[in-house]
Chain A
Amino acid sequence: MTNEIVYDATVGRPLLDDAKMSMRGVNVFYADKQAIHSVDLDIGKNQVIALIGPSGCGKSTFLRSLNRMNDTIDICRVEGHLMLEGQDIYDPKLDVVPLRARVGMVFQKPNPFPKSIYDNVAYGPRIHGLASRRIDLDEIVESSLQKAGLWNEVKDRLHAPGTGLSGGQQQRLCIARTIAVSPEVILMDEPCSALDPIATAKVEELIAELSQNITIAIVTHSMQQAARVSERTAYFHMGHLVEVNDTEKVFTNPEHPLTEAYITGRFG
């Protein structure tokens, strides 16, 4: 039944006045197969936006096009305008290295480097030359771990391997590693799906804190999580952006029948 629905323009309020990132007419292809169909969406400054939808609907694809991580996939092609504070991030003259420093990413499976906890966090500042002296670097490492809520747990073993931490700690280490380069936007692709409920709660708490001065886009398959952490929610369906609204509205009073079907658990 859902197959026959014609995908019109996105319902709800996809556009904002004070957008940190604005995407217009975004199409993403894997070779000939289109994974994202003309998406218009604004991401508000220092807001948390949740991207939800059935698996395979293109959430990760869309998210990864926001910091050009899709560049690494040969067959992937992105069309449209994707702007970060008015700057086209697919401008051929734009360097992806500083872009990715500004738009960081946290992945589904915690992926710390096989290095010490300290070196994991210090890696970004080192390659970007953010600290010239050792104490400056120490400072950045400490404050990043503080912000990631991990400092107290690891301060006595900063030089132990990062991969020796528990799954939840590893994910917070990855977040610390990302915020160590002071990104303006953090993209999170199902950051809690490999974590237990307690670790998940910690990461969610962290998201709330970080969003005070960082813009966050989070893909999640947990509607409770979307409801807990986000201010706005975007619902994707088969590559189309179906509905965007304030989170509360999406979960209490969805406008589109597909959104309603999804949040009431009719498919997912």
Chain B
Amino acid sequence: MKTIDLVNKNLAKRYRKEKLFRAYGLASIGFGLLCLVLLFSDIIGKGYKAFVQTNIQIEVNFDAGYLGITDTTNTEQMFAANFEGLVKKSLREMFLIKKRSDKRLAYSLVSTDSGYQLHDLLVANPAWLGTTKKVWLLADDDLDTYYKSVDNLNGAFTGRMQEQQLVWIKNLLDNDALQLQFNMNFFNLGDSTEPELAGIRAALMGSLFTLMVTMVLSFPVGVAAAIYLEEYAPRNRFTDIIEVNINNLAAVPSIIFGLLGAAIFLGFFGMHRSLPLVGGLVLTLMTLPTIIITSRAAIKAVPPSIREAAMSIGASKMQVVLHHVLPLAMPGMLTGAIIGLAQALGETAPLLLIGMVAFIVDIPSGVTDPATALPVQIYLWSDRPERSFAELTSAAIMVLLGVLIVMNALAVLLRKKLERRW
């Protein structure tokens, strides 16, 4: 047999193997995509309804006498006015309530915050004083859950609803007095015990401030450490130990960093609990090994010929690093940093240990305001009994994933922009 025949004979076998190899690859990718689709469809399916909220239409008589307001620009008068009473009065009139026990049932159909909503409406529309208007008020979360499930095949979810309330709701439905509106509160407010008043903003800002601290500290420190280890450190037992330990640190469970952070920053330095500053410091400890390792890899990937070129015309060590190595390694370093930060963004355990698990209503405005973080907020909400919080949990996960996607897109963009393709 001639050589070429042998080759041809084997060729078929080689092609078969190659096909199989490709099939394995495709199957793996398919499996990965399937998991992703399942995850996303589950979360989006559960959470998308949290972006709208049930509102209830009520006829309100802005009786100047009842409210005791003569001038809507007078903040004192506006503040003193009993808007909450006005809401209750309107509800009583609307449902023609006579029994004392029905009152509480009627009041609980609207959000506890309805008085403020009326106040805000009157501030926005001063001309309404003394007139009767139909206004949309935020419904209570039980009604919200009911209304969102009203089209379900096996009946709406009634939960804690009482017989009498269902009758009223039927009435409201018949009069088109229930409506879904965009859930502004979710994006504007902090945490609340009332699902309809609970928002993601405090946690989002907390996460952003925390990440800011992490980035500002871990990137320069990590890059400097990588440069030192890669370019200056002698190769000896001592640096070997450092190297091994950095790699080990990257594998340490994050909760350990939380304990460490609690001991050092809270215990030793006496910093306050729940601060993004402390959270950022703890996450810096956690992110540093990742950044150092990826930065070193990026530095190693710079072709030695470039270093030699610079050195051979008399560039000093520092000039070689600053003018040549760093610019060429920067895209890789930034990618590593963003991956590290993305990890930090999703970290919960260490933040629990330094108290960023508090009930935060006020939006933090700096790194020294008590705050919580997105994943912690998710954790907190997932633990609450109200069904609406399950929805909010999924919605918060969507926000977290959204931020992650934005960060990763940023990493890709930065890399594209900085990469020298020549």
Contact = CB atoms under 8 A, between A and B. Distances in A.
B314 A124 contact: yes
B314 A174 contact: no
Nearest to A183: B313
A127 B319 contact: yes
Contacts of B306: 111, 113-114
A11 interface: no
Interface string B64-95: 00000000000000000000000000000000
A164 B421 CA distance: 10
Contacts of B309: 107, 111-113, 174, 177
B308 A97 contact: no
Contacts of A67: 312
Interface stretch (A80-88, A98-106, A131-139, A245-253): A98-106
Nearest to B315: A127
Nearest to A174: B309
B328 interface: yes
Interface in B316-335: 316, 319, 323-324, 328
Contacts of B328: 114
B422 interface: yes
B310 interface: yes
Contacts of B420: 114
B310 A181 contact: no
B100 interface: no
B313 A101 contact: yes
B314 A181 contact: yes
A109 B234 CA distance: 28
B311 A111 contact: no
Given A74-B235, A114-B328, A114-B420, A123 B305 contact: no
A69 B310 contact: no
A163 interface: yes
A107 B304 CA distance: 12
Nearest to B307: A72
Contacts of A109: 305
Contacts of B315: 97, 123, 127
Contacts of A112: 309
A128 interface: yes
Given A107-B305, A163-B422, A98 B314 contact: yes
Contacts, number: 68
Nearest to A125: B313
A127 B314 contact: yes
A74 B235 CA distance: 8
A178 interface: yes
B312 A100 contact: yes
A145 to B, nearest CB: 15
A176 to B, nearest CB: 11
| Size class of the contact patch on chain B | 20 to 34
A206 to B, nearest CB: 17
Interface in B386-422: 420, 422
What class of interface size applies to chain A in its complex with B?
20 to 34
Contacts of B310: 113, 123
A161 interface: yes
Contact of B308 (A69, A128, A163): A69
A123 B313 contact: yes
Given A74-B235, A113-B324, A100 B422 contact: no
A53 B292 CA distance: 44
Contacts of A72: 307-308, 311
A161 B422 contact: yes
A225 to B, nearest CB: 21
Contact of A164 (B303, B311, B314, B422): B422
A107 B308 CA distance: 9
A213 to B, nearest CB: 18
Contacts of A163: 422
A177 B324 contact: no
Given A74-B235, A114-B420, A114-B422, A100 B305 contact: no
Interface string A122-164: 0110011000000000000000000000000000000001011
Given A74-B235, A112-B309, A101 B422 contact: no
Nearest to A123: B313
A181 B314 CA distance: 9
Contacts of A180: 313
Interface in A165-185: 174, 177-178, 180-181
A220 B310 CA distance: 23
A128 B314 contact: yes
Contacts of B422: 114, 161, 163-164
Contacts of B234: 74
Interface in A59-101: 67, 69, 72, 74, 96-101
A129 B379 CA distance: 60
A151 to B, nearest CB: 19
A72 B308 CA distance: 9
B305 A69 contact: no
A111 B328 CA distance: 14
A112 B422 CA distance: 10
A117 B344 CA distance: 42
Given A161-B422, A164-B422, A111 B313 contact: no
27 contacts: A69-B308, A69-B311, A69-B312, A72-B307, A74-B234, A97-B314, A97-B315, A97-B316, A98-B314, A100-B312, A101-B313, A101-B314, A104-B313, A111-B306, A111-B309, A112-B309, A113-B306, A113-B309, A113-B324, A114-B328, A114-B420, A114-B422, A123-B310, A127-B315, A127-B319, A127-B323, A161-B422
Given A97-B316, A111-B305, A127-B319, 16 more contacts: A69-B311, A72-B307, A100-B311, A100-B312, A100-B314, A104-B312, A104-B313, A111-B306, A113-B306, A113-B309, A123-B310, A124-B314, A127-B316, A161-B422, A177-B309, A177-B313
Interface of A: 67, 69, 72, 74, 96-101, 104-105, 107, 109, 111-114, 123-124, 127-128, 161, 163-164, 174, 177-178, 180-181
